[in-house]
Structure 1
């Protein structure tokens, strides 16, 4: 079993890694296109990132909970229950995200003012925010479908659909942003409409494939909702809080960086896009591992869990150190490719060199949080997320910004990531050792 474990992890993870790369890659290119419109549109888009991350945090928290319950039901051979849970996540998740989008649309102006957006940026943000919220809702519905496929062990279809939707978005981006022929295009809102159309096409494909499976149920949903509400809340509550803390931290981080001016905000927003792309392997592991860990949890196979996590840690650290080192070495050229503004390029280059290598330890923290939700430790995952952001990351970021401008910002964030990774590793080792001792006593 141990000899085939790397191959199994590769087979489960590579489709998601390819999909995540394409999905995050188009978002990075999206920002690169917007950067060609000028610093103001790029800064306007950057101010929307924290609230967009808020929506993503809610959808990921819901997805973690439902994927954990479905995978555990499958591990315990409860097929009928897994089908009912699949139907519930698609219906309930879509309704929750739609409600959140409406709230964020109605409260947009005070929210963006609190984030530090200058009055002259508000009209640009307003033109972009409504179609972006539509795109976010469509993307959330697509994500819930992906969660269902991953819970059943199918990572290939989600990976393929991420690639397809990314390609559609990349084709539509220049047309809708800059126009074609005599049509001048939509400018900044064109980027959001391109994403909405791409996600809509992905939903059509996903719906047709889902219709060919027997993973959904029409009957018994009310009873299942009552039965699963307690376990679902026990996982989803802490998981959602864990996922909501990064958007909250992103809002605070944006407000901190905003004190340095619009150019720094634009560079910080671009660096945030690059961060998610560089973490593609870690993000893929956080998607492919939990259903696998959930099935092992349902079967009581803790030695396999330990082997899986040890391998995932090695992959994450080696990948992030190698990629971070290369990108830091070529930082000026990477910044030149992403932004046409010399001032933004200079600050982005500083952020790349300071931040990218530190994502090796950030990746460890992300894996521990994801695994803890799948292994029945959602409260620990929540506390770890809280400690990472509010005890490690934000204080170091604030101190660095106060003392050293954009260079201090990069150094402070890197130190915060390092502290968080070390804390996460120690916490996971302690948790898994405690579980091992408890299992030995029972046996």
Structure 2
């Protein structure tokens, strides 16, 4: 009997270690998941409210938001490299190094954000002319994109600041910021799209103003927390005036693979979107609905990917290599379970989900429901891919 107990002891220790690791992953993941859901709700609320104006308005906002965030997400990959360096510095308890990394990442964010704002605003009209969509869709889409591109100088730093918080192991701050910005966006959409509370009914432009305002507020909150908060990350305004070329090079080298990955993904998505636009406004509206619904299923994957990246990075910084590897696999398992369940819901209730975005539009609902059901089949594989990719970034 004694020998049997000794044989089982290593497995018991391993099970306990895995249970503790899963608990840490869940504690890191749930605020990140909620944050991702809230960020995505900005686009979904726009889609749901604008969808009540008509298919042309819905198509315009769908195209505009895809272009905006495709560009922002590519450059926001700079936060991936910075977050990995921050996580390793935290694991090594190098607090001064943590703050230096954060400061240089934010400087990069402001510079790149300014470039995006300038180029995006001036090229919006030409881009929609090149897409060859209906004249009304082109006009409304250009209007939406120009309004939302201008504050990119602050939107990109918001994404990078959130990545820094997560790398430091604090996923709750980005969640709280997202909660506030989402509330501002919902109220702004309702007031400005439909003309409530004495405001004029601006339609698509109102949705753009609400989204831009919410994102700018989020950036200001993140900056305030970085400068005056009581976190391991603590910056001084003068930190933004220094340039450390060697550190910037490290951030960019680590960020380049993630940026290229996001670029390929975004270009593929945009090419596919342009192909769908050639099928007509109704088909694109259905595609936009299916994309909005499916995006919700990605949130657990993103959350567990963030948790895995943070866990892996901090354990690498502390030289705990076994725990780093196990963190990636455990995160993938948790995401697989959650996203498979979501896929079952998508497959079972596609028409109910599609009808939330375009009530009364029978053709749009039918096409959207078919796309939602197809997307449900890929959820398990997507879950594993997302989390393992996040772990490798750590």
TM-score by length of 2: 0.88
Q: Which residue of 2 aligns with 1:281?
A: 300
Comparing 105-114 with 209-218, which one deviates more in the overlay?
209-218
Identify if the C-alpha distance between structure 1 residues 135 and 366 changes in structure 2 by more than 3 Å, giving closer, same or farther.
Answer: farther
Runs (5+) with no aligned partner, structure 1: 375-443
- Aligned to 1:180, what secondary structure does the other structure show? coil
Q: Which residue of 2 aligns with 1:259?
A: 278
Q: Which residue of 2 aligns with 1:243?
A: 262
Q: 2 CA distance for matches of 1:165 and 1:219? A: 27
Equivalent residues of 2:112, 2:153 under 8 A apart: no
Q: Which residue of 2 aligns with 1:233?
A: 252
Of 376, 381, 384 in structure 2, the residue corresponding to residue 364 of structure 1 is 384
Is residue 141 from structure 1 mapped to residue 157 from structure 2 by the alignment? Answer: yes
Equivalent residues of 2:104, 2:247 under 8 A apart: no
Please list the CA deviations of residues 72-121 of structure 1 after superposition, one character each: whole Å capped at 9, or x if unmatched: 22223332222111111112212202202211222223322333423332
Of 307, 319, 325 in structure 1, the residue corresponding to residue 344 of structure 2 is 325
Identify if the C-alpha distance between structure 1 residues 366 and 56 changes in structure 2 by more than 3 Å, giving closer, same or farther.
Answer: farther
Comparing 197-206 with 58-67, which one deviates more in the overlay?
197-206
- Aligned to 1:2, what secondary structure does the other structure show? helix
Q: Which residue of 2 aligns with 1:129?
A: 145
Q: CA deviation at 1:312?
A: 1.3
Equivalent residues of 1:58, 1:97 under 8 A apart: no
Q: 1 CA distance for matches of 2:222 and 2:69? A: 23
Please list the CA deviations of residues 34-57 of structure 1 after superposition, one character each: whole Å capped at 9, or x if unmatched: 110100011111222432232232
Q: 1 CA distance for matches of 2:218 and 2:125? A: 31
Identify if the C-alpha distance between structure 1 residues 142 and 220 changes in structure 2 by more than 3 Å, giving closer, same or farther.
Answer: closer
Q: CA deviation at 1:282?
A: 0.8
Q: CA deviation at 1:3?
A: 2.6
Q: 2 CA distance for matches of 1:167 and 1:218? A: 28
| Moved >6 Å (runs of 4+) | 218-224
Q: Which residue of 2 aligns with 1:204?
A: 220
Equivalent residues of 1:85, 1:224 under 8 A apart: no
Counterpart mapping for 1:317-396 below 5 A? 317-340=336-359, 341-374=361-394
Q: Which residue of 2 aligns with 1:294?
A: 313
Equivalent residues of 1:13, 1:288 under 8 A apart: yes
Q: CA deviation at 1:276?
A: 1.6
Is residue 31 from structure 1 mapped to residue 51 from structure 2 by the alignment? Answer: no
Identify if the C-alpha distance between structure 1 residues 156 and 181 changes in structure 2 by more than 3 Å, giving closer, same or farther.
Answer: closer
Comparing 10-19 with 22-31, which one deviates more in the overlay?
22-31
Identify if the C-alpha distance between structure 1 residues 286 and 114 changes in structure 2 by more than 3 Å, giving closer, same or farther.
Answer: farther
Comparing 60-69 with 198-207, which one deviates more in the overlay?
198-207
Q: Which residue of 1 aligns with 2:35?
A: 19
Q: What is the RMSD of the two structures over their aligned residues, measured on CA atoms?
A: 2.1
- Aligned to 1:3, what secondary structure does the other structure show? helix
TM-score by length of 1: 0.79
Please list the CA deviations of residues 318-364 of structure 1 after superposition, one character each: whole Å capped at 9, or x if unmatched: 21111111122111111111113222111111111111231221222
- Aligned to 1:143, what secondary structure does the other structure show? helix
Q: CA deviation at 1:6?
A: 1.5
Q: 1 CA distance for matches of 2:381 and 2:370? A: 20
Comparing 182-191 with 219-228, which one deviates more in the overlay?
219-228
Of 168, 193, 203 in structure 2, the residue corresponding to residue 177 of structure 1 is 193
Equivalent residues of 2:78, 2:252 under 8 A apart: no
Q: Which residue of 2 aligns with 1:402?
A: none
Q: Which residue of 1 aligns with 2:331?
A: 312
Runs (5+) with no aligned partner, structure 2: 1-16
- Aligned to 1:279, what secondary structure does the other structure show? helix
Counterpart mapping for 1:216-231 below 5 A? 216=235, 225-231=244-250
Equivalent residues of 2:29, 2:303 under 8 A apart: yes
Q: CA deviation at 1:184?
A: 4.0
Identify if the C-alpha distance between structure 1 residues 371 and 224 changes in structure 2 by more than 3 Å, giving closer, same or farther.
Answer: farther
Q: Which residue of 2 aligns with 1:424?
A: none
- Aligned to 1:153, what secondary structure does the other structure show? coil
Equivalent residues of 2:293, 2:353 under 8 A apart: no
Comparing 222-231 with 254-263, which one deviates more in the overlay?
222-231
